[in-house]
């Protein structure tokens, strides 16, 4: 399978061999579609996190529940992504958002990678022409049970539980997105955007392994990753794979589900 990250030089050489997907989305409500229309990689199609990669938000499931396999397949097919296509996705957030698409595809056996550094790493011209592809055949595949955990399993798991959100949200800073503030008991803070260097690209693999080791993650350790809504948690899992660590599992409901259940305990502090 293709590596979880590719660089801009690799993509430039393989632009005609892959489906490039722009997955820009903003927690503050800005329009990812407008960002795409303002300039995107040549040939890139836009993928909507809210409708293509998520089921409708709810108090019981969180802000970005996983869609059914059938709904995900229908969205990919409508965008022109087929069973045999290789996808390279990007955003303008170091891959923290586009990771959701890449993880979903890789977890179901498809070829997909993140563009390291996102749109900022691309040195060629950008296009403002919307791109579409002919509908394709994308076969529904079940979400693999060994790669995903639900809310009850998170509460009972003995795995290392990592939180991909910014440290201040982990510690309990108030935000407008969720009804309670803090983190799941036993979780360890590992902000995924801190895997990136000043240029927006991944730090060296040895630096990444040291960051994981600092929260108890090494070979042979089982890991569950969560975040606010099950999006940036995917980035932590892809970075783990890039660093040569075992595949972890995703808690899709994440804090947005956990915090909406008043019976679930909450911890604050670093």
Per-residue model confidence (pLDDT) at position 232: 98
* Active-site annotation, residues: 227
With b for 16 or more beta-carbon neighbours within 10 A and e for fewer, the 65-86 pattern comes to bbbeeebbbbbbbebbbbeebb
Cα 20 from Cα 22, distance rounded (Å)? 7
Report the predicted TM-score, pTM, of the whole model to 2 decimal places: 0.97
Q: Where are the beta strands (DSSP E) in the chain?
A: 5-6, 19-22, 45-46, 86-90, 111-115, 160-163, 188-189, 223-226, 249-250
Q: Given a cut of 80, is residue 100 above it in pLDDT?
A: yes
145: its two tokens: 């049970």
Is residue 86 a contact partner of residue 111, using CB atoms and an 8 Å limit?
A: yes
Domains (ranges, CATH) in the chain?
Answer: 5-121 (3.40.250.10), 145-258 (3.40.250.10)
Q: Given a cut of 80, is residue 30 above it in pLDDT?
A: yes
Mean residue pLDDT across the chain? 96
Q: What is the pLDDT of residues 52-61, one digit of tens each?
A: 999 999 999 9
What mean pLDDT comes out for the span 46-66? 97
How buried is 101 (Cβ within 10 angstroms: 0-12 exposed, 13-18 middle, 19+ buried)?
Answer: buried
The residue whose two tokens read 């229908």 is 74
Q: Given a cut of 80, is residue 158 above it in pLDDT?
A: no
What mean pLDDT comes out for the span 78-106? 98
Q: What's the pLDDT band for 29 if we cut at 50, 70, 90?
A: very high
Q: What's the pLDDT band for 157 if we cut at 50, 70, 90?
A: confident
Q: What's the pLDDT band for 169 if we cut at 50, 70, 90?
A: very high
Cα 156 from Cα 170, distance rounded (Å)? 20
């Amino acid at each position: 399978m293709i590596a979880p990250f590719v660089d801009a030089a690799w993509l430039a050489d393989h632009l005609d061999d892959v489906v490039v997907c722009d997955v820009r989305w903003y927690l503050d409500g800005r329009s990812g579609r407008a960002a795409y229309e303002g300039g995107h990689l040549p040939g890139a199609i836009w993928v909507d996190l809210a409708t293509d990669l998520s089921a409708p938000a709810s108090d019981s499931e969180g802000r970005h529940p996983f869609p059914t396999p059938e709904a995900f397949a229908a969205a990919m097919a409508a965008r022109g992504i087929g069973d045999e296509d290789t996808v390279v996705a990007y955003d303008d957030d170091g891959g923290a958002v586009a990771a959701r698409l890449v993880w979903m595809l890789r977890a179901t056996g498809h070829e997909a990678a993140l563009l390291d550094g996102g749109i900022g790493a691309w040195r060629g011209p950008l296009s403002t022409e919307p791109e579409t592809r002919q509908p394709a055949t994308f076969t529904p595949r079940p979400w693999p049970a060994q790669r995903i955990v639900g809310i009850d399993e998170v509460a009972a798991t003995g795995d290392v539980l990592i939180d991909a959100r910014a440290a201040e949200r982990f510690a309990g800073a108030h935000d407008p997105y969720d009804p309670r503030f803090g983190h799941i008991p036993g979780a360890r803070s590992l902000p995924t955007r801190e895997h990136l260097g000043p240029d927006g690209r991944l730090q060296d693999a040895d630096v990444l392994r040291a960051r994981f080791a600092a929260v108890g993650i090494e070979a042979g350790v089982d890991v569950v990753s969560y975040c606010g809504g099950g999006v940036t948690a995917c980035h932590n899992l892809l970075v783990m794979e890039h660093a040569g660590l075992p595949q972890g599992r995703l808690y899709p409901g994440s804090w947005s589900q956990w915090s909406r259940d008043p019976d679930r305990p909450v911890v604050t502090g670093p």
